[in-house]
A and B are shown apart, each in its own frame.
Chain A
Amino acid sequence: MKYFDAIFHPASIAIAGASPGKSGQWFLDSIRTSGFKGSIYAINSKGAEVSGLMAYTSIKDIPGPVDFVICCIPAVHVPQLLRDCGAKKVRTVSIYSSGFSEIGTEEGRELEREIVRIARDSGIRIVGPNCLGVYSPKVGLSFASDFPWRVGKVALIGQSGGNTSYLIRAASQRGVRFSKAVSYGNASDINESDLLEYFAHDPETEIVAAYIEGVKDGERFRQVLTDLAVRKPVLILKGGYTKAGGEIAASHTGSLAGSAEIWDSLVHQSGAIKVANLDDMVDLLVTFTLLPLPKGRRVGVFGGGGGASVVATDELTTAGFVVPRLPPELTTELMSLFGSTAGMIFKNPIDLSMVGYSQGFHDVVKRLLTYASGDWIDFGLIHAGFGQAAWFSSSAFNAEIDQFRDFISRIYRETDKPLALVVQFLITNWDWQKALELERSCSEAGMPVYHSMAGAARAIDHYLQYHENKKVPTTSRTI
């Protein structure tokens, strides 16, 4: 598996088809802004300068060795490029170009077989075609300039470039960081099983997420997935799960989707976690990465308004959580502290509308989280609904949210009960800008943030179930 070193830690990269204004330039610019330390070479047929870099007309003209090539030229020219790469002793090529098996024609399929033959003959390994390739923040290799440069413990494989990009961006926004990610497209050579097998043994990876449309070799996939799931949590989303989706998967990545029943039983038996959609995947990544494991299902909910608290209670209870009544001593304490419950609820959920996000909010929530060593609940959710606020002006709102951020950061630092923030009921672009700012600072401090109570409930339920299942003895477990 040495070729993986060239994929994730290349010392030199060449981009074929790096012409001004074309996709090759995006790749070039992304790698340069991501801080790649090795050599970067641009190749285009005219030798035209691109992003201030002189371009070579052929890979063979590049003076030094090249570990990794990103190919953005039209499909018909890919075989020749691969032959040249063979002559140049390139080890891996990531092919962004599309127009292979996914177009559904015999020519497309034959072209894909041809590039695989050339690669085998030349000792080259292929990622793709029809993919965005590799994100390896450790070495500054990225296919989008805005991906974080900080390294984390999640590895992601995605058969769709767009879905891979979305998962990286949306999860990063909420504090998840990646060890490596691969958008692998048609999987003509390096496929899902190769990647999962690699991540099973990769010491830099603790959690694996996968978006898969189809599997090349079912039996091998079953073995690899089972072996991986014993070692690390695996979150897996199947695209083309339904019959109609499967037909689209065929024209997207040339995949044979397989039936939903077979897939379900395979995932279930392997011990991997089945994920329903991309947004649930993000919620799960946030949970597995940031939330300390709660000891049980008792939750305290702090801060939503009355109606929001009613709805939240329904959603949490439906997902199998217990929302215990506040211990009577605490109710009494809050009553004497505030004099009256008018406009508030001191039960759990705790509605502190009339207190606002003040020092009082901080003091109450901290007291509830630490009361009797906190053993009346297993975890806490701070509940904020921006679009439910009655009165604010833009300046007051900004100040209020900044204050809220400071208080919840303090609560988070000063207590050790698992704690997450649910920011929901976001409406305007302006709500979103402020919420995203808030969640960025919370998640950077290590606090999980969710965009809906229902989403938080689903993800934390999966998380607890995963750990409950792990307690069941398995003879095959090796760690």
Chain B
Amino acid sequence: MNKVDALNTAFNLKNVAIVGVAPGEAGFNTGRLFLSAIVEYGFPGRIYPVHPDGGEVLGLKVYPSISDIPEAVDYVISCIRAPLIPRLIRECSEARAKVLCLFTAGFSETGISSNQELESQIGELARETGVRVIGPNCMGIFSPRARFSYAADFPKETGRAGLICQSGGNTLYIIRAAGARGITFGKAISYGNGSDIDETDLLGYFHQDSEIDMVAMYIEGVRDGSRFRRALKELAVEKPLVVVKGGRTPKGVSAVASHTASLAGSDELWEQVLKHAGAIQVDTLDELVDMLVALSLMSPPGEKRVVSLGMGGGAGVLAADEWDRAGFAQPPLPEEIAEEFRTALGNPAGTSMNNPIDVPHFGLGNPNFYEALKSLMSWDGFDFLAFHLPLRGMMLTMSVGDMVISMETDTLMNLRQETTKPMVGVIHYLANAESWQYAAKYAERLQKAGIPVFYSVASTANAINRLIGYHNYPGYTADGSSG
């Protein structure tokens, strides 16, 4: 089977086998953890636990080997030890199993030559038998459309983003963190050492995939530089591609070698390659998620003129500093609009009608204030509205807090309906458990209304800068054709 067919089969799997599921309930067993997560997430296909002892686990029959399974298996997850893998591949081949995902670690990433040889042997066996291998040292595929996940808490919705990630832990974090921000994936893959299916294959696959509109990537190193560069560019001219490179410093490079045995390459080279391809390079996993949020939920503002509205004078001062540092203009409000806000709030004490507009929490519920907001949104002197929520622990009880949250988010949700101007929410200064509870409620309601939420002014400004940069990239045209 070629790699594209293999990936199609894996992402649309009808059944799955997990090799190395210890029968019973006792002890730490990764195979059983995979199994229970797959069941709990709601996979509708047939599930075949495999273990030489047979028996039963979670009410499912355990098969002694892959060849005892009564049908050809689409996707096999291996949790057994590394030396047993060559034999497993042959068994898969005989049983006409199609794709093998190796959670199994202990290959080239250990730096031990016998393990490195074992890994090359696996790559060769995959090509020879046609049983395509994902990994080793990875979590494999996540496919919400097929209702297949190795983590029970992953979002159930099928989104339009794709994820290619060399680290399992980082995959888990990105999918969850994006999910909490309203971004869901259509397909995601943690591919580890990439001994058979590698980063370049995956770029090519997502490039062709009409169900994927944008791609996020965490990569530590590359097997074949020139092939990779080509695939990167082909994808990036058609779809936004956001990349975090892990192992940028010499020490990070050494950590990469023992994590996924990749050749990390120099930082400068990476920057050049990504820039040349038109990919969006970001520095951290959180910036990656921020970028997906900006790409999915925002249209790029025409220029960099922001009006901010928020609670707290000191928070407003620091916000103004951050916007300024990131190169955003903060035009003063026209006098008639400032006057409308002043009239709506009655008393200027403790508020400011400059930009940022400092408004008390209860201000947003005021119908006159809402009218002033509408006037503001129709003013053509700015490009987007940032709503700041410093939740440093308000002098409010939770019950009042809920009321305030509903009132404020209702106002913004209504405003969202009446304007095409981009709006963002910035939730920050979360001091304690109480402020996190507020934050979760605000974020959920704002995202539901299609208002993207970020967690600091600096990160918001950063993501919007990159969004603007991406849309101004000479290679990019709105219809997706290569420039």
CB neighbours (8 Å) of A318 from chain B are 248-249
B374 CB-CB contact with A under 8 Å: no
A208 to B122, CA, bound (A): 60
A103 to B313, CA, bound (A): 12
The reply to whether B318 and A163 form a contact with Cβ atoms under 8 Å apart is yes
A346 to B307, CA, bound (A): 50
A390 to B35, CA, bound (A): 12
A469 to B80, CA, bound (A): 54
Kindly supply a per-residue 1/0 record for chain A positions 297-327, scoring 1 wherever the CB is within 8 Å of any chain B CB and 0 otherwise: 0000000111111110110111000110100
Q: Do A245 and B255 form a contact, CB below 8 Å, given A158-B314, A307-B246?
A: no
- Tell me the number of A-to-B contacts counted with CB atoms below 8 Å: 252
**A6-37, CB < 8 A from B:** 26
Q: Do A244 and B173 form a contact, CB below 8 Å, given A103-B348, A252-B313, A311-B284?
A: no
A160 interface neighbour in B28, B171, B176, B315, Cβ under 8 Å: B315
The reply to whether B246 and A314 form a contact with Cβ atoms under 8 Å apart is yes
The reply to whether A307 and B318 form a contact with Cβ atoms under 8 Å apart is no
The reply to whether A310 and B354 form a contact with Cβ atoms under 8 Å apart is no
B311 to A, closest residue via Cβ: A162
B431 interface neighbour in A99, A173, A387, A454, Cβ under 8 Å: A173
The reply to whether A307 and B324 form a contact with Cβ atoms under 8 Å apart is no
**B153-186, CB < 8 A from A:** 165-173, 176-177, 180
A392 to B, closest residue via Cβ: B153
A277 to B, closest residue via Cβ: B318
What is the minimal beta-carbon distance from A150 to any residue of chain B, in angstroms? 16
B323 CB-CB contact with A under 8 Å: yes
The reply to whether B248 and A162 form a contact with Cβ atoms under 8 Å apart is no
CB neighbours (8 Å) of B151 from chain A are 390-391
A310 interface neighbour in B104, B176, B246, B437, Cβ under 8 Å: B246
A211 to B, closest residue via Cβ: B314
Kindly supply a per-residue 1/0 record for chain A positions 128-163, scoring 1 wherever the CB is within 8 Å of any chain B CB and 0 otherwise: 001000000000000010100000000000111111
CB neighbours (8 Å) of B248 from chain A are 314, 318
CB neighbours (8 Å) of B167 from chain A are 305-308, 310
B439 to A, closest residue via Cβ: A429
CB neighbours (8 Å) of B218 from chain A are 307
Kindly supply a per-residue 1/0 record for chain A positions 232-276, scoring 1 wherever the CB is within 8 Å of any chain B CB and 0 otherwise: 000000011111110111011100000000000000000000000
**A203-254, CB < 8 A from B:** 211, 213, 239-245, 247-249, 251-253
The reply to whether A245 and B318 form a contact with Cβ atoms under 8 Å apart is yes
CB neighbours (8 Å) of A443 from chain B are none
B452 CB-CB contact with A under 8 Å: no
A418 CB-CB contact with B under 8 Å: no
Of A59-67, A335-343, A365-373, which binds chain B?
A335-343
CB neighbours (8 Å) of B210 from chain A are none
A123 CB-CB contact with B under 8 Å: no
A349 CB-CB contact with B under 8 Å: yes
The reply to whether B320 and A245 form a contact with Cβ atoms under 8 Å apart is yes
The reply to whether B436 and A429 form a contact with Cβ atoms under 8 Å apart is yes
The reply to whether A162 and B169 form a contact with Cβ atoms under 8 Å apart is no
A75 CB-CB contact with B under 8 Å: yes
CB neighbours (8 Å) of B169 from chain A are 304-308, 353, 385, 388-390
What is the minimal beta-carbon distance from B314 to any residue of chain A, in angstroms? 2
A293 CB-CB contact with B under 8 Å: no
The reply to whether A433 and B249 form a contact with Cβ atoms under 8 Å apart is no
B171 to A, closest residue via Cβ: A307
The reply to whether A317 and B249 form a contact with Cβ atoms under 8 Å apart is yes
A134 to B352, CA, bound (A): 24
The reply to whether B318 and A146 form a contact with Cβ atoms under 8 Å apart is no
Of A42-50, A113-121, A164-172, A193-201, which binds chain B?
A164-172
What is the minimal beta-carbon distance from A161 to any residue of chain B, in angstroms? 7
B356 CB-CB contact with A under 8 Å: yes
Kindly supply a per-residue 1/0 record for chain B positions 180-217, scoring 1 wherever the CB is within 8 Å of any chain A CB and 0 otherwise: 10000000000000000000000000000000000000
B316 CB-CB contact with A under 8 Å: yes
The reply to whether B321 and A252 form a contact with Cβ atoms under 8 Å apart is no
B250 CB-CB contact with A under 8 Å: yes
A278 CB-CB contact with B under 8 Å: yes
The reply to whether B177 and A427 form a contact with Cβ atoms under 8 Å apart is yes
A242 interface neighbour in B325, B348, B393, Cβ under 8 Å: B325
B331 to A, closest residue via Cβ: A244
A248 to B352, CA, bound (A): 9
A165 interface neighbour in B168, B259, B393, Cβ under 8 Å: B393
B320 interface neighbour in A248, A278, A433, Cβ under 8 Å: A248
A318 to B247, CA, bound (A): 11
The reply to whether B433 and A356 form a contact with Cβ atoms under 8 Å apart is no
Which size class do A's interface residues fall under? 35 or more
CB neighbours (8 Å) of A98 from chain B are 349-350
Q: Do A349 and B255 form a contact, CB below 8 Å, given A161-B314, A242-B324, A244-B321?
A: yes
B440 CB-CB contact with A under 8 Å: yes
Kindly supply a per-residue 1/0 record for chain A positions 419-443, scoring 1 wherever the CB is within 8 Å of any chain B CB and 0 otherwise: 0000001011100110010000000
B33 to A, closest residue via Cβ: A391
The reply to whether B354 and A99 form a contact with Cβ atoms under 8 Å apart is no
Kindly supply a per-residue 1/0 record for chain B positions 228-260, scoring 1 wherever the CB is within 8 Å of any chain A CB and 0 otherwise: 000000000000000000111111101110111
CB neighbours (8 Å) of B349 from chain A are 74-75, 97-99, 103
CB neighbours (8 Å) of A165 from chain B are 392-393, 431
The reply to whether A340 and B393 form a contact with Cβ atoms under 8 Å apart is no
Kindly supply a per-residue 1/0 record for chain B positions 349-361, scoring 1 wherever the CB is within 8 Å of any chain A CB and 0 otherwise: 1101010101000
CB neighbours (8 Å) of A306 from chain B are 109, 137, 167-169, 259-260
CB neighbours (8 Å) of A314 from chain B are 246-249, 251-252
The reply to whether B392 and A323 form a contact with Cβ atoms under 8 Å apart is no
Kindly supply a per-residue 1/0 record for chain B positions 277-300, scoring 1 wherever the CB is within 8 Å of any chain A CB and 0 otherwise: 000000011000000000000000
A278 to B429, CA, bound (A): 8
What is the minimal beta-carbon distance from A294 to any residue of chain B, in angstroms? 18
B87 CB-CB contact with A under 8 Å: no
A323 interface neighbour in B251, B316, B432, Cβ under 8 Å: B251
Shortest 10 CB-CB distances between A and B: which pairs?
A160-B314, A307-B167, A305-B169, A342-B106, A99-B349, A166-B392, A245-B321, A242-B324, A169-B431, A307-B170
A-B contacts, 11 of them at CB < 8 A, read A99-B350, A165-B392, A170-B392, A252-B317, A307-B167, A310-B252, A313-B255, A323-B251, A390-B172, A391-B33, A427-B173
Give 10 A-B pairs besides A249-B317, A307-B246, A313-B252 with Cβ atoms closer than 8 angstroms. A242-B321, A248-B320, A252-B316, A306-B167, A313-B254, A387-B173, A388-B172, A389-B172, A428-B176, A436-B433
Give chain B's interface residues, CB within 8 Å of chain A. Answer: 28, 33-34, 36-37, 81-82, 104-106, 109-110, 137, 139, 150-152, 165-173, 176-177, 180, 218, 220, 246-252, 254-256, 258-260, 284-285, 311-318, 320-325, 330, 347-350, 352, 354, 356, 358, 390, 392-393, 395, 429-433, 435-437, 439-440, 456, 458
Give chain A's interface residues, CB within 8 Å of chain B. Answer: 26, 74-75, 97-99, 102-103, 130, 144, 146, 158-166, 169-170, 173, 211, 213, 239-245, 247-249, 251-253, 277-279, 304-311, 313-314, 316-318, 322-323, 325, 340-345, 347, 349, 351, 353, 356, 385, 387-391, 393, 425, 427-429, 432-433, 436, 454
